[in-house]
Amino acid sequence: MNSSKKYWESSHEAIPLQTRTIINEYLLSLKLANKAEATISKYRSILERFFSECLFL
């Protein structure tokens, strides 16, 4: 895994910055709760997919 990329941070450009900030705070809370890297990465992937495909009105 690339050590320069933080696995608990989303950098998905299709997600609005404010939403991405909230996602990153949630993912960081999982990291601080000592959840497994695979769990956090999976949650990040699911959230990125949902928020990048969701239409914001």
Digit-by-digit pLDDT tens for the chain (57 residues) are 455 689 999 999 999 999 999 999 999 999 999 999 999 999 999 999 999 998 765
Q: Any idea what DSSP says for residue 4?
A: T
Contacts of 32 (CB under 8 A, 6+ apart): none
23: nearest Cα among 46, 56, 3: 46
- Give me the pLDDT at residue 54, please: 85
- Give me the pLDDT at residue 56, please: 63
